[in-house]
Chain A
Amino acid sequence: MKRCWLFWLSLLVALPAWALDVAATTSSMGMLARTVGGPQVKVTELAPPDRDAHMLQAKPSMMRALRDADLVVAVGAELEVGWLPAALSGAANARVLPGRPGYFEAAAQVPLLEAGLAADRAQGDVHPAGNPHVNLDPERMAKIAQALAERFALLDAANAAAYRERAQAFARELASRAPVWRQKAAQAGGLVTHHKDALYLAQFLGVPFLGTLEPVPGVAPTASHIEALAAKLKGRKGLIAHTPYQPPAGAEKLASLTGWPVAVLPIEPPAGSDAAGYFALIDRWADALAQGGR
């Protein structure tokens, strides 16, 4: 009898406290999963926020995390094309393969900018699916959160109401902050980034997106391109931004030609962030853009 008791106790200890094991590709996808999933989900982030999620390589630890996952939350639109398919294939987990309920792509839930461009690599590392960097657009993120809540509800019906409620709360919070962010950014003259990774944010804030330091996506900045860009920007005001993992040289060159300030801004919240970390990230961008107007 005593043994029987121990058995049940050990089973209780062994049972996980969460209902869903989520593998998120980036920290913004991790933030979404945590915000919507609350205590019912356990989240592992595969890509560190200070790396280019497009350039990563598949690693054994990723395969390990994907092997145990009930759900993969990816950005999609080919952002993780260089490593996620290989990691998924190595993970041998049928539940999280594309096409199954256990595979979720954020970019597939919202309309994308630059979709349907010609698949011509002479134009750089172009992805015809569209620009994948939706994570910096609070409006799209609100929609994605709601779609994610539905996916959680599908996989774990017992907590469906809680998932939906959290997604709606996140959307409401974003909607209430949007006017503040837009007001701050209203002074901004324009934005130039290294890669087209803040296009959605510029559009959300109503800031003119005036170009990239890269001549075409995925190709390092060239002097002639920066000079041409500076000529185009003559007489305008704005901000030059790049992420910590992009080289500063191109931005500095353009800054010396235009007199614009340079900001080093991440496009992902810190690892393990909750919604507050995401709001802080958009705050940083809005503040930096406000600086760029003066």
Chain B
Amino acid sequence: MHRIPKWTLAAAGVLTASTALAADELQALREEIAQMKKTYEARIAALENRLKEAEQKAAASPVAAPASGQVGAGSSFNPQISLILDGVYFRDDKQGRSPEMYEHLDGINHSHDHAHGALERGFNLRETELVFSAAVSPHFDAAAMLTVSEHGDVELEEAYFDTRSLPYGLKVRGGKFLSGIGYLNGQHPHQWDFVDQNLPYRTLLGEHGLADTGLRLSWLPPTGNWYTLLGVELLQGKEQTFATSGLSTPTSREDGAPLAGTAAGSLSAQKAGPRLATVFAKFGPDLGANHALQFGGWAAFASQHQEVHDHTLEDPASLVHALEGKAKAWGLDAVYKYDAGGYGGQGSFKLVGEYLRLNKDLKIAFHENGALLGQKRDFTQDGIVLQGTYGLLPHWQAGLRFDATGLTRNEVKGPSGTIAEWNKSDRWTLALTRQIDHFSLFRLQFSRANLWVGGEKEKTNQLFLQYQHSLGAHGAHTF
């Protein structure tokens, strides 16, 4: 006997019952669905109409959301951080020796310092700049700028605070900063119109210009439509080309030979800072929307400067000696900018001219030939840079620069006239810059220089292909 499970019977019963039920109610269900469809279609249509109306209303009067109330004030990033990448492809016609020639140009500032990141022929990663800036409080702004070399060496180029709330157009800056002298001195490499530093800055002030630790007071006096800026800086006078101190009196020669028995004298102790003071003034008439002009003048005074000269490695017959005294520098600068209003800077141009002069008024404080002690050594060198850029096409800029160092004077005088005189080194540079967008550029630069190195004239050509990218905050640049 087959036993049919009860649950199958029950299931069959339910099934037959439901089919009968379905047959009856199928029609009703269909009708219900049709009814629902109709009502929903009507409701959807009504909703669509309302949406359309709302959209039209929104288009007509968009002021529905609350005001942002957020003051942009430049940027919403806090602190503002930006990173500038910089690389060059480099070639010269001296088998790669030209960067060293630039380091050792004949003149009053013998380059003893490290040749940092000398260029190689081919691809070079230049220093990456990292900039932080923000308001510290209602009373202070602060900024720091670091550079990181290809090998990971970090250098603090600038780290300073600015006051925000002083009255009468006064402002104080403190910390380590680029001096306000000249026009080009305040610019970081990514603001330059050319790949490399100009000759007078490089030879008279140093590769990065004049940057030191101290305080600046600047003042914008009420001079009507004329822009006037007056400034004074008290700086430590540390490791500058014309303000270095704290050197020790030589006790040995670099070539290993003992100091001559006739050696005499000693360098004085380091004076307390500040040992370097600068004053500067800038004037700019209001020439309307298309033109901007600014003239400037500056002077710097170092109350203590010391130098040690030991060339015994190159020339064993030379005598080790040390000099000390005071130094001063001054300069004049002018900038003219024409804004043609063209797209991508087309037709606009900028002309910059600067003259610099450095004088070191020193005495022999130590000499292997002690008889020379106390003799004066008066060094003078000057230089000029003239440069212009022109917007050839939208986002294409052509630049031309002439720079020279030892322009009219490049000499050292002793008690009885000129001891040594060096020749003028000069250079012509042509640059073509393509500004890809706000944040990236490519630059092709060619220069042809007559350099004097060790009394020999060297004609040198250099070729650069540079890229620059800036990431992060949208920086605002000063004039």
Residues of B within 8 A of A155 (CB): none
B439 interface contact, C-beta 8 A: yes
A103 CB to closest chain B CB, in angstroms?
7
B84 CB to closest chain A CB, in angstroms?
14
Q: How many A-B residue pairs have CB under 8 A?
A: 180
A92 interface contact, C-beta 8 A: yes
C-alpha gap A55/B170 in the complex (Å): 29
C-alpha gap A200/B73 in the complex (Å): 21
Say yes or no: A206-B59 contact (C-beta < 8 A), given A108-B67, A108-B69.
yes
B294 interface contact, C-beta 8 A: yes
C-alpha gap A61/B479 in the complex (Å): 10
Find out whether the CB atom of A108 lies under 8 angstroms from the CB atom of B170. no
Find out whether the CB atom of A94 lies under 8 angstroms from the CB atom of B165. yes
Find out whether the CB atom of A67 lies under 8 angstroms from the CB atom of B71. no
A112 interface contact, C-beta 8 A: yes
B349 CB to closest chain A CB, in angstroms?
13
Which of B39-47, B192-200, B244-252, B335-343 touches A? Answer: B335-343
| B476 in complex: contacting residue of A47, A58, A218, CB < 8 Å | A58
| A64 in complex: contacting residue of B61, B219, B226, B474, CB < 8 Å | B226
A140 interface contact, C-beta 8 A: yes
- Against A, the Cβ 8 Å flags (1 = close, 0 = not) of B277-316 are 0000010101101101010000000000000000000000
Residues of B within 8 A of A219 (CB): 437
Find out whether the CB atom of B169 lies under 8 angstroms from the CB atom of A67. yes
| A111 in complex: contacting residue of B56, B66, B162, B345, CB < 8 Å | B66
Interface of A is mostly: loop
C-alpha gap A271/B395 in the complex (Å): 27
Find out whether the CB atom of A78 lies under 8 angstroms from the CB atom of B62. no
B221 CB to closest chain A CB, in angstroms?
9
C-alpha gap A109/B394 in the complex (Å): 35
C-alpha gap A86/B478 in the complex (Å): 5
Say yes or no: A111-B65 contact (C-beta < 8 A), given A58-B476, A58-B479, A78-B74.
yes
- Against A, the Cβ 8 Å flags (1 = close, 0 = not) of B207-234 are 0000000000011101101110100000
A48 interface contact, C-beta 8 A: yes
Can you list 5 A-B contacts with CB-CB less than 8 angstroms, sorted by A residue number?
A59-B292, A60-B282, A81-B474, A94-B166, A247-B394
A279 interface contact, C-beta 8 A: no
Find out whether the CB atom of B74 lies under 8 angstroms from the CB atom of A64. no
Find out whether the CB atom of B479 lies under 8 angstroms from the CB atom of A107. no
A115 interface contact, C-beta 8 A: yes
Say yes or no: A63-B72 contact (C-beta < 8 A), given A90-B478, A94-B165, A220-B344.
no
| B164 in complex: contacting residue of A61, A94, A245, CB < 8 Å | A94
| B71 in complex: contacting residue of A76, A81, A90, CB < 8 Å | A76
Say yes or no: A84-B74 contact (C-beta < 8 A), given A94-B166, A220-B395.
yes
Find out whether the CB atom of B474 lies under 8 angstroms from the CB atom of A78. yes
C-alpha gap A68/B70 in the complex (Å): 25
A83 CB to closest chain B CB, in angstroms?
6
Residues of B within 8 A of A220 (CB): 344, 394-395
A93 interface contact, C-beta 8 A: yes
Say yes or no: A111-B74 contact (C-beta < 8 A), given A58-B479, A61-B284.
no
Find out whether the CB atom of A204 lies under 8 angstroms from the CB atom of B62. yes
A105 interface contact, C-beta 8 A: yes
Find out whether the CB atom of A93 lies under 8 angstroms from the CB atom of B169. yes
B63 interface contact, C-beta 8 A: yes
C-alpha gap A81/B72 in the complex (Å): 9
| B68 in complex: contacting residue of A59, A111, A121, A143, CB < 8 Å | A111
Say yes or no: A59-B337 contact (C-beta < 8 A), given A111-B67, A112-B68.
yes
C-alpha gap A250/B290 in the complex (Å): 26
Find out whether the CB atom of A125 lies under 8 angstroms from the CB atom of B438. yes
A116 CB to closest chain B CB, in angstroms?
10
Q: Taking CB as reference atom, which chain B residue is nearest A76?
A: B72
Find out whether the CB atom of B479 lies under 8 angstroms from the CB atom of A139. no
Residues of B within 8 A of A68 (CB): 222
Q: Taking CB as reference atom, which chain B residue is nearest A207?
A: B59
Q: Taking CB as reference atom, which chain A residue is nearest B294?
A: A60
Find out whether the CB atom of B72 lies under 8 angstroms from the CB atom of A105. yes
Find out whether the CB atom of B225 lies under 8 angstroms from the CB atom of A61. yes
A182 interface contact, C-beta 8 A: yes
Residues of A within 8 A of B70 (CB): 108, 129
C-alpha gap A59/B66 in the complex (Å): 35
Find out whether the CB atom of A59 lies under 8 angstroms from the CB atom of B479. yes
C-alpha gap A260/B289 in the complex (Å): 34
A180 interface contact, C-beta 8 A: no
Residues of B within 8 A of A51 (CB): 289, 339, 341
| A139 in complex: contacting residue of B62, B227, B339, CB < 8 Å | B62
A183 interface contact, C-beta 8 A: no
| A218 in complex: contacting residue of B62, B171, B282, B437, CB < 8 Å | B437
Residues of A within 8 A of B341 (CB): 48, 50-51, 245
Find out whether the CB atom of A57 lies under 8 angstroms from the CB atom of B67. no
Find out whether the CB atom of A246 lies under 8 angstroms from the CB atom of B227. no
C-alpha gap A247/B395 in the complex (Å): 12
C-alpha gap A115/B65 in the complex (Å): 11
B21 interface contact, C-beta 8 A: no
Say yes or no: A67-B343 contact (C-beta < 8 A), given A58-B478, A86-B478.
no
